Chains A and B, each alone.
Chain A
């Protein structure tokens, strides 16, 4: 009884830490990426914590909703934030024993993320504006190609670990460091990097900083949002970025993730995680700085490439095991 109780307590503390860390760290990662871009362009740039200030500003503002909108528009920010928060809480971010770790299946995480994407697309359609519908259509097109690639890439890892439970995959990778340099892992890594870039709306797929409505994907769906609703959406997007970046580093460079049950281990894991994700953010933004936005019809080619790599990862694993 005490064992379950303590692990429940540990899991609760760990999950709470993960949520707080990603809620603060996600916006900071965005700030860091904006900073790297600014420096590369020869600007000083806003401080790294600027996205957090923006969130505080948005949350303090009055929420305005379009006159002819339905409950979808109102509920979407909560659904997006809620599904992302749940995914963050149960994923192996700082520990391999978060709350509900038995349910932390790769399919659960992928579908939680998908819930957010679909809700956002519905919200884009809800006000009936041309931009919102355009954004939703593009987001679904890209999502429909990115989600399978994500799923297949993680399946490659799960075949290796013989489980689809993410915490177990991460824990097993720590005990089998040789896995990280197998062809399966490398192929899946490239596939996942492509998917993460597409899913988080970064260049060369989408430009989060553009003001050109006609070129927007994710931003077009949020155009009708203002005030605290926009704050929740923005926080949701930042947490999604934080979650995907963290999962990416933990699946491929899992060292530092707490496998025991000591609180000190958790704190050390947080430090490792911050370093790893910051490094990834800097690398991704350097890729961004030196690339331009792809022609919209080239994006499916890129994602199809990601999917093929993911399938190759699965085949490689099946052949070499």
Chain B
């Protein structure tokens, strides 16, 4: 079932033209994974396209004493960010990169310490070097800066936002992230494949199924496990359950940010019902612990009655929200992300679809390739209202998809045997509720994880938030931020 894979070894010189050619033929750069093999540094450029589901891995080997790659920043914006990440963690220099500022590395990291190198050793003492991050300063009459965070007033994750503002209008926003960098990729190294699930489910707490499944898919490909159809159905169903509870939560949070407290409270009631449904289906409110490499188990399936109750309460809520003219006025036309910008940035998931891009891994890389309930929903306007509507329509569609899955009455317990003769490297792509999540796993001879490289959709989408905010006003920022609802933990790893 896994995608047709082409693996091509390339010289450093041939990389740029090859990637350019593949991007033009419809591939997207899904992941750039660097590896330290000891005697050489190996960079794997993973390109995907679909439908039909296709994957291309371009491999470049580098001298560890002089690790240089040609930059791809002129042909792919996401590549420029992957390159900055590689530069900070592996010391691989993207030659010709126009904006080689630290991304992962905060100023208290010792310079020339590359934590992902095999000889990085234990974490050295961290000390602030006194050099503030070089934010781009907007100059001009009446331009001032508002620094916000990394510590915020609400229960949200840390991130620093630097607004350049005239009056109440945002000229430029720079987001400085990686305050919750926990060294997740390093944590995977040397763990048993089954234990890796524990880490994967916690990469971003609200995306346990998305990351857990992407990891398991990658491990299963590496080990050559063919997952039975019933297991695929159950897994896809869990993914939709995760999408629904998060979308409902986001819709409530967007109402809360325009101070429409009653709608927020009603959304939270529905979300709580979903949590309880999750608990009775999987034994965990956040759907953890149901998917392992080669193993899928749930306690029961949701019933049609439960889904119908949620569907009708949710539809009433949406009706209630959209009938409030102040709320729709706040949503409409706010922070427009143009389709061209979204495409150039490489935006994924809900945000991209709200701007009219037809990107969805369920469409391009189908997992449980059955059923007709799934619809690829998109909006055209790309504003906060677009992202709101996108979410509400996806919830309704996901409920339909789950109903269809229940109709197949799949077995609750599914086991696949380990063949242990796989290619030892594997790739998983999943349409999590935020967007496409990819994991690329390599196993060593003992079957332990030697490298797990992760790309959360938030990594692609954060720059889109900043772009959409141009000419938006300051007090709308929290609402816009909620309409994107990107993960800090998933981005920072």
A212 at interface (Cβ–Cβ under 8 A)?
yes
B153–A213 touching, CB < 8 Å: yes
B475–A215 touching, CB < 8 Å: yes
**CA gap between A57 and B476 in the complex, in Å:** 33
Given known A-B contacts A212-B153, A294-B326, A296-B473, A41 and B144 have beta carbons under 8 A apart: no
Chain B residues, CB < 8 A from A42? 265-266, 269
Interface residues of B in 443-493 (CB under 8 A from A): 473-478
Interface residues of chain B: helix, strand, loop or mixed (majority): helix
The stretch of A7-15, A183-191, A203-211 that contacts the partner chain: A203-211
**CA gap between A212 and B269 in the complex, in Å:** 23
B145 at interface (Cβ–Cβ under 8 A)?
yes
**CA gap between A40 and B320 in the complex, in Å:** 14
Selected contact of B260 from candidates A43, A131, A292, CB within 8 Å: A292
B473–A204 touching, CB < 8 Å: no
A181 at interface (Cβ–Cβ under 8 A)?
no
Inter-chain pairs besides A134-B474, A213-B153, A295-B330, 17 sampled, C-beta below 8 Å: A41-B262, A41-B264, A130-B146, A131-B146, A138-B168, A204-B259, A204-B326, A207-B259, A211-B153, A212-B154, A215-B478, A292-B255, A292-B260, A292-B324, A294-B329, A296-B473, A296-B476
**CA gap between A43 and B266 in the complex, in Å:** 11
Q: Mark A277-299, 1 if CB is under 8 A from B, else 0.
A: 00000000000011111111110
A214 at interface (Cβ–Cβ under 8 A)?
yes
Number of A-B contacts (CB under 8 A): 76
Chain A residues, CB < 8 A from B138? none
A130–B147 touching, CB < 8 Å: yes
A240 at interface (Cβ–Cβ under 8 A)?
no
Chain A residues, CB < 8 A from B265? 41-43
Q: Mark B132-144, 1 if CB is under 8 A from A, else 0.
A: 0000000000001
Interface residues of chain A: helix, strand, loop or mixed (majority): loop
Q: Mark B305-335, 1 if CB is under 8 A from A, else 0.
A: 0000000000000000000101101100000
A298–B329 touching, CB < 8 Å: yes
**CA gap between A211 and B256 in the complex, in Å:** 11
Chain B residues, CB < 8 A from A218? none
Given known A-B contacts A40-B262, A42-B269, A292-B324, A134 and B146 have beta carbons under 8 A apart: yes
Given known A-B contacts A41-B265, A207-B259, A214 and B154 have beta carbons under 8 A apart: no
A35 at interface (Cβ–Cβ under 8 A)?
no
Listed residue (A41, A43, A297) with the most chain B CB atoms within 10 angstroms of its CB: A41
**CA gap between A16 and B312 in the complex, in Å:** 56
- Range, interface on chain B: 20 to 34
**CA gap between A131 and B261 in the complex, in Å:** 24
A130–B144 touching, CB < 8 Å: yes
Chain B residues, CB < 8 A from A37? 261
B148 at interface (Cβ–Cβ under 8 A)?
yes
Distance from A177 Cβ to chain B, minimum over Cβ atoms (Å): 36
A214–B261 touching, CB < 8 Å: no
**CA gap between A297 and B476 in the complex, in Å:** 11
A-B contact pairs, 20 of them (CB 8 A): A41-B261, A41-B265, A42-B269, A130-B146, A130-B148, A209-B259, A211-B153, A211-B154, A212-B257, A212-B478, A215-B475, A215-B478, A289-B261, A289-B262, A290-B324, A292-B259, A292-B260, A292-B330, A293-B326, A297-B168
Listed residue (B327, B329, B475) with the most chain A CB atoms within 10 angstroms of its CB: B475
Chain B residues, CB < 8 A from A292? 255, 258-260, 324, 326-327, 330
Chain B residues, CB < 8 A from A298? 329
Chain B residues, CB < 8 A from A134? 146, 474
Distance from B465 Cβ to chain A, minimum over Cβ atoms (Å): 14
Q: Which A residues are closer than 8 A to B by beta carbons? A: 37, 40-43, 130-131, 134, 138, 203-204, 207, 209-215, 289-298
A295–B153 touching, CB < 8 Å: no
Chain B residues, CB < 8 A from A211? 153-154
Interface residues of B in 382-410 (CB under 8 A from A): none
B148–A293 touching, CB < 8 Å: no
**CA gap between A67 and B47 in the complex, in Å:** 54
**CA gap between A297 and B334 in the complex, in Å:** 13
Q: Mark B236-261, 1 if CB is under 8 A from A, else 0.
A: 00000000000000000001011111
Selected contact of B474 from candidates A43, A207, A214, A289, CB within 8 Å: A214
Selected contact of B330 from candidates A131, A203, A209, A293, CB within 8 Å: A293
Interface residues of B in 124-183 (CB under 8 A from A): 144-148, 153-154, 168
Selected contact of A130 from candidates B145, B261, B473, B476, CB within 8 Å: B145
**CA gap between A297 and B329 in the complex, in Å:** 12
Listed residue (A209, A211, A293, A294) with the most chain B CB atoms within 10 angstroms of its CB: A293
Chain B residues, CB < 8 A from A204? 259, 326
Selected contact of A214 from candidates B264, B266, B477, CB within 8 Å: B477
Chain B residues, CB < 8 A from A293? 258-260, 326, 330
Distance from B165 Cβ to chain A, minimum over Cβ atoms (Å): 9
Distance from A45 Cβ to chain B, minimum over Cβ atoms (Å): 11
Distance from A230 Cβ to chain B, minimum over Cβ atoms (Å): 15
A203–B146 touching, CB < 8 Å: no
**CA gap between A259 and B188 in the complex, in Å:** 80
Q: B264 — nearest CB in chain A belongs to which residue?
A: A41
Listed residue (A134, A204, A295, A297) with the most chain B CB atoms within 10 angstroms of its CB: A295
Distance from B145 Cβ to chain A, minimum over Cβ atoms (Å): 7
Q: A41 — nearest CB in chain B belongs to which residue?
A: B265
Chain A residues, CB < 8 A from B329? 294-295, 298
Chain A residues, CB < 8 A from B261? 37, 40-41, 289
